[in-house]
Structure 1
Amino acid sequence: MADIFDRIEWNVREIFGEAPVCVHVGDVNECDIKRHPTYAKFRAEAISAGVRSAPSSRLWESMIAMGRLCDLDGDDTWRLVILDCIVPCFRSLSARISRDFRVDREEMRSAMVATALDVWAGTAMGVPPRHVRDRMVKAAFEMAFRYGNAASSEYSMEDAEIFIQPEMYTQGSELRASSIIDINSIRDAGVAEQIRGERLGALLQRLGCFDAVREFHDGLRAGCRSGSVSQAVRASKLSRSQISNPNLYYYASDLYPSFIGLREAADVMEISDSAAHRLIRAGQFPFPVARVGRSYKVSVKALMHFKDIPDVIVHVDDIENGALHASGGVR
């Protein structure tokens, strides 16, 4: 009978299949490193690196960073990967304790996973990525021995079961721009959506970067770009008769690159490059970063979240109308 260890492994195999896996930025097409292994090879290397010395492994440092980045998007993919690369060292121990102490092996394994997840949540801030894997393993081992010594104790699988289920993620809905209209007070969702888009379009026009936005829109209309348009359509759940095409929704973050360099991110955060590196080494950087070779890349979505900039859903019509108004009607 399959237990939670098996279900974690099956879920990850279903996600990645035989496709190449990128642990640096999550997308092999955006990564500066061009050779990527399949998940089976990646997993074998990660397990070996974890057993040898996870604190000194760049691979595990990148895995932890990717897990934190996915957390910001409400995506459990890389948490599953981290667990899948940890649980092999749980199997033999849990089997031995189950046999020696005559306790239910499936319940104990569920308790070990739940404990590892608790450690994951508790180390989100203030703990350097290089130490997270070993803390998860140590806590799970201690849980297994406590479970064996107190066989009558009951542990719930609820946390672990919830972890396997898809998580819901709600996007922010407020655009921080000066206006006499408070969008939160608007009851008509379509009107609020339109105002958000027009404000962002006007802002982009004033910043002098609307030519690039127009190029992005042309690509959407021609079907050459997709971004997260389909996700935005599903998330908006709006039906407005005045828009040109309901498939031309997108997230504001689609206008920006997925990742930028640490120096550029530090400028946005108004700190020095050296200060950013010190915070990363101390495990105190306010959000996770991706390790690519000897350098770091910062997720733009994570940076937007840190700066409290909502990743709003917009439509090309609203963006262009707002830009047209800001330009005085000159296209």
Structure 2
Amino acid sequence: MDVFDRIEWGVREIFKEGPICVHVGNIEECDIKRHPIYPKFRSEAIAAGIRSASTSRLWESMITMGRLSDMEKDDTWRLVILDCIVPCFRPLSSRISRDFQVDRDEIRSTMVAVLLEVWGNTGMGVSPRHVRDRMVKTAIEAAFRCGKSGSSEYSVDEIEIISQLEMPAPDFMMKKSSIIDVNSIRDAITAEQVRGERVGALFQGPGRFDAVRVFHDDLRTGRRSGSVGQAVKTSGMLRSGISDPNLYYYISDLYPSYIGLREAANVMGITESAAHRLIRAGQFPFPVARVGRSYRVSVKALMHFMEIQDVIVHVDDVENGALHAGGGAR
């Protein structure tokens, strides 16, 4: 099994015959309700890439999802992009191998390594519309150079992400300010309490904390799980005096997964029209998802850009902070 086969096998193991959402990545959160199963999606993506990738909204969305996944340290969409590109390389790589008497697996490994290299180099300053074409063009040039030289000129270390895959089971407010530098607090428990209380204080206000209270109630009753289990695992702290050690969560859980471009631009301090211009020029500072004729912005990507840490907090600390900010007593 060569690297092309491993890519195809790996992605099929992830999605199997299930549907796939290229708009926001999560079918349940997507405004568009009809989604193709992966084999059909793959066929459409391959055909669109061959015809006109630079004008294809499908490929623009795929590239965007790949960038967002990279920010989450998730290789899934990068693998999807590779899986929808490499089929057009199969006959070409075989022909180059035959004509130049070079091992075909070496040709294909070189092409994948270059695809990943170009992917990494086009994260900024290149419009999503042009990334696929640039990847293909550069990989083909590298394949011919490899054939002519008789050996690969590229390191293939990056393709280890493919060969070592572990298949997985299938009114907006955001602020960064604080009068306390949490990083300067040496005691981890105290720092954790301060972080939670600061979040509660930020949300305290007319009607704002009501949504947080509902979220907390859902956590306490088990109606909501979110990233609670992962948060506890990541925190690794054993605290006494808290109501329940299972009531930790990431502050990003308090926000929707995606917001509109207008709201995101407002948080960034720019106009919506300026945001549109940056997207068209491929200069927006992080990927945005296209849904129909509009754009949706990942809140986690926005937080990363604004240098707002997605910290772990406990419901008790958040509620205490809100109580203090509202003038109440502990």
Per the TM superposition, whether the score is higher than 0.5 is yes
Shift in Å at residue 273 of structure 1? Answer: 1.7
Cα distance change of structure 1 residues 164 and 227 upon mapping to structure 2, 3 Å threshold: farther
Shift in Å at residue 157 of structure 1? Answer: 2.5
In the other structure, the counterpart of 1:66 is 65
Shift in Å at residue 189 of structure 1? Answer: 2.3
Distance in 2, matches of 1:51 and 1:154, equals 27
Q: Tell me, yes or no, if structure 1 residue 33 matches structure 2 residue 32.
A: yes
What is the 5 A alignment of 1:179-198?
179-180=179-180, 182-198=181-197
Q: For residue 135 of structure 1, what is the amino acid of its counterpart?
A: R
Q: For residue 53 of structure 1, what is the amino acid of its counterpart?
A: S
In the other structure, the counterpart of 1:304 is 303
SS of equivalent residue, structure 2 residue 316:
helix
Shift in Å at residue 246 of structure 1? Answer: 2.1
Distance in 2, matches of 1:153 and 1:254, equals 46
Shift in Å at residue 328 of structure 1? Answer: 2.1
In the other structure, the counterpart of 1:124 is 123
Q: Conserved in 2, the CA contact under 8 Å of 1:107 and 1:155?
A: no
Shift in Å at residue 87 of structure 1? Answer: 0.7
Q: For residue 246 of structure 2, what is the amino acid of its counterpart?
A: N
In the other structure, the counterpart of 2:140 is 141
Q: For residue 118 of structure 1, what is the amino acid of its counterpart?
A: E
Which is further off, 272-281 or 35-44?
A: 272-281
Cα distance change of structure 1 residues 155 and 287 upon mapping to structure 2, 3 Å threshold: closer
Per-residue deviation, residues 29-74 of structure 1 (Å, max 9, x unmatched): 1111100011111111101100111011110010011111112212
**Which blocks of at least 5 consecutive residues in structure 2 are unaligned?**
167-174
Shift in Å at residue 260 of structure 1? Answer: 1.0
Q: For residue 294 of structure 1, what is the amino acid of its counterpart?
A: R
Distance in 1, matches of 2:192 and 2:81, equals 38
Q: Tell me, yes or no, if structure 1 residue 227 matches structure 2 residue 202.
A: no
- Which aligned runs of 4 or more in structure 1 are off by greater than 6 angstroms? none
Cα distance change of structure 1 residues 104 and 190 upon mapping to structure 2, 3 Å threshold: farther
**RMSD (CA atoms):** 1.9
Distance in 2, matches of 1:188 and 1:163, equals 41
Q: Tell me, yes or no, if structure 1 residue 178 matches structure 2 residue 143.
A: no
Q: Conserved in 2, the CA contact under 8 Å of 1:62 and 1:290?
A: yes
Cα distance change of structure 1 residues 273 and 103 upon mapping to structure 2, 3 Å threshold: same
Distance in 2, matches of 1:54 and 1:39, equals 19
SS of equivalent residue, structure 1 residue 298:
strand
Which is further off, 207-216 or 254-263?
A: 207-216
SS of equivalent residue, structure 1 residue 29:
helix
Distance in 1, matches of 2:259 and 2:153, equals 47
Q: Tell me, yes or no, if structure 1 residue 329 matches structure 2 residue 328.
A: yes
Q: Conserved in 2, the CA contact under 8 Å of 1:199 and 1:319?
A: yes
In the other structure, the counterpart of 1:89 is 88
Q: For residue 179 of structure 1, what is the amino acid of its counterpart?
A: I
Shift in Å at residue 221 of structure 1? Answer: 0.9
Cα distance change of structure 1 residues 21 and 148 upon mapping to structure 2, 3 Å threshold: same
Q: Conserved in 2, the CA contact under 8 Å of 1:4 and 1:110?
A: yes
Per-residue deviation, residues 260-305 of structure 1 (Å, max 9, x unmatched): 1111111222222221111111111111111111111111111111
Cα distance change of structure 1 residues 320 and 307 upon mapping to structure 2, 3 Å threshold: same
**Which blocks of at least 5 consecutive residues in structure 1 are unaligned?**
168-174
Q: For residue 252 of structure 2, what is the amino acid of its counterpart?
A: S
**Number of corresponding residues:** 322
Distance in 2, matches of 1:30 and 1:152, equals 47
SS of equivalent residue, structure 2 residue 313:
strand
Distance in 1, matches of 2:308 and 2:35, equals 33
SS of equivalent residue, structure 1 residue 291:
strand
Q: Tell me, yes or no, if structure 1 residue 255 matches structure 2 residue 249.
A: no
Distance in 2, matches of 1:164 and 1:78, equals 16
Percentage of identical aligned residues: 73
Shift in Å at residue 165 of structure 1? Answer: 4.8
In the other structure, the counterpart of 1:170 is none
Q: For residue 325 of structure 2, what is the amino acid of its counterpart?
A: A
In the other structure, the counterpart of 1:150 is 149
Q: For residue 303 of structure 2, what is the amino acid of its counterpart?
A: M
In the other structure, the counterpart of 1:172 is none
Cα distance change of structure 1 residues 86 and 104 upon mapping to structure 2, 3 Å threshold: same
SS of equivalent residue, structure 1 residue 87:
helix
Shift in Å at residue 163 of structure 1? Answer: 5.5
Q: For residue 262 of structure 2, what is the amino acid of its counterpart?
A: R
* TM norm structure 2: 0.92
Cα distance change of structure 1 residues 92 and 32 upon mapping to structure 2, 3 Å threshold: same
Distance in 2, matches of 1:4 and 1:207, equals 56
Q: Conserved in 1, the CA contact under 8 Å of 2:113 and 2:154?
A: no
SS of equivalent residue, structure 2 residue 213:
helix
Distance in 2, matches of 1:259 and 1:154, equals 41
Q: For residue 178 of structure 1, what is the amino acid of its counterpart?
A: S
Distance in 2, matches of 1:204 and 1:143, equals 53
SS of equivalent residue, structure 1 residue 301:
helix
Q: Conserved in 1, the CA contact under 8 Å of 2:106 and 2:152?
A: no
Q: Conserved in 2, the CA contact under 8 Å of 1:258 and 1:300?
A: yes
Q: Conserved in 1, the CA contact under 8 Å of 2:107 and 2:152?
A: no
Q: Conserved in 1, the CA contact under 8 Å of 2:248 and 2:312?
A: yes
Q: For residue 283 of structure 1, what is the amino acid of its counterpart?
A: G
